[in-house]
Structure 1
């Protein structure tokens, strides 16, 4: 049972434009791009595993992300990199502990996203004060996830991914990746709307089961993703389709990443999910400067 005492009303897409989302009763405008800072509570994430997997270091990193310019903190209790340790929902909840409630207590203006594919973890997070759900599985790894999203009325981040946990990272070559992703989004958004979830954010799923060629194609065709009805989140930070062809490490591709961030911003991306907040904030500033001159 959900213990959050507040009553929420999800925004109606026919009344509010897609650049507004209702986060736990707080209307958040997306007319300007937002930065989602990544906070991994994991010992095995590919680029920062073990750095923030205790409450003290997690709170310190959340503070840094916010001071650097992030408005959303995406908390991930489980790594989804290839060959990562698989956790149950109860193990995720144990790993989260008091992190969500402590961040909310110290930084009440921060928006908190919970990165999980479990309905029970979502319900726990809701009672702790999360503002949105970031489900990399599109409801495919827990058949109760869409029900939980509908029950909480939280904004739901819908990601394109392969249909099972075991095949999550199997690289498939699609005849037309943009068409495939949009078909998936069309089916899944209809299912979510039927469950009462009206604040939906779309994530094309960079780094999950796609060839490097297809991922670069998605970068170039970002403007065609998502039907212009729902806001688009792009998560390319430290992804292998960028650093592997260059022979670099995940920590050495900031310049290349920011150039790609500029491309997706120019095509309407509303949220950038990143590790490197200050550099991304500068890219957004440059994006606005560039558009002022147009």
Structure 2
């Protein structure tokens, strides 16, 4: 499980000798999982404190739901929601590492100013043509996810000749765009649930180790997703056990970051898998 991969965060290296946990905080009412939503400053700080106490290495703040059918959020509103949340968290927990979950460069800019240190983009720049130039200029670590289309039409774009070959090529080309301009701090996310059928999601998980050829940090977001609760015919609120099972498989197959709603079970999975593999 040990790896030499790392990313540069404001001049300091974050090593991935062992996998990290990213805890999700949504400051929008549209997120598919209600327990990750916060609507008051008190709720925000309580959730941030809980996730950090349970062992979260990074807090991922989102103000725009990517689920199909979610309400469009104006840019100004997304900036206000996320930047305010980031400032509050940094004031209470100054050492917290925060990522901003957005596909808009304006939101990313405001979030970095507010105290975020990573940008997590579900579209890898495809939904905002200015995002990649912004990231390179800002020298910010960038989480790029594989997706086709947008959240409204992505489930109509699920035909692949070879899904893993296409994902590897997608990231290879993207990484080349960044490295050609001297930007190395890229994290890749295969995008479970985005422009993929349930069977394709399981195939990507099964073959996740193929992404190691890219020599980048690998993030997986499996937490309480439909591939779990629809397969098991349960509600997302009952999908914690299924999440832990799939996160364990992801760790065996090379995941470096688990993006989750429930931090403690992910921390425990990492400890147990690390003990097993080492």
Measured against the shorter chain, the TM-score band is: over 0.9
State the distance in 1 between where 2:251 and 2:56 align: 16
Greater alpha carbon shift after TM alignment, 200-209 vs 246-255: 246-255
Does 2:128 correspond to 1:139?
no
Residue 19 of structure 2 contacts residue 256 of structure 2 at CA under 8 Å; is this kept in 1?
A: yes
Deviation at 1:184, TM superposition (A): 0.8
Structure 2, unmatched stretches of 5+, are none
State the distance in 1 between where 2:54 and 2:260 align: 12
Change (3 A) 1:192 1:88: farther
Of 216, 224, 235, 2:202 maps to 216
Equivalences for residues 124-273 of structure 1 within 5 A:
124-273=110-259
Aligned-residue Cα RMSD (Å) equals 1.7
The normalised TM-score by structure 1 is 0.89
Equivalences for residues 4-15 of structure 1 within 5 A:
none
User: 2:8 — aligned with what?
Assistant: 22
Change (3 A) 1:223 1:81: same
Change (3 A) 1:28 1:236: same
Of 33, 37, 44, 2:19 maps to 33
State the distance in 2 between where 1:225 and 1:147 align: 25
Local SS of the residue matching 1:98: helix
The normalised TM-score by structure 2 is 0.94
Local SS of the residue matching 1:86: coil
State the distance in 2 between where 1:30 and 1:36 align: 13
User: 1:7 — aligned with what?
Assistant: none
State the distance in 1 between where 2:227 and 2:157 align: 12
Residue 42 of structure 1 contacts residue 50 of structure 1 at CA under 8 Å; is this kept in 2?
A: no
Residue 40 of structure 1 contacts residue 48 of structure 1 at CA under 8 Å; is this kept in 2?
A: no
Structure 1, unmatched stretches of 5+, are 1-16
Greater alpha carbon shift after TM alignment, 274-283 vs 88-97: 88-97
Between the two proteins, the alignment pairs up a number of residues equal to 276
State the distance in 1 between where 2:225 and 2:39 align: 21
User: 1:87 — aligned with what?
Assistant: 73
Deviation at 1:196, TM superposition (A): 3.6
Q: Which has the higher helix share?
A: 2
Local SS of the residue matching 1:225: helix
Change (3 A) 1:224 1:88: same
Greater alpha carbon shift after TM alignment, 53-62 vs 205-214: 53-62
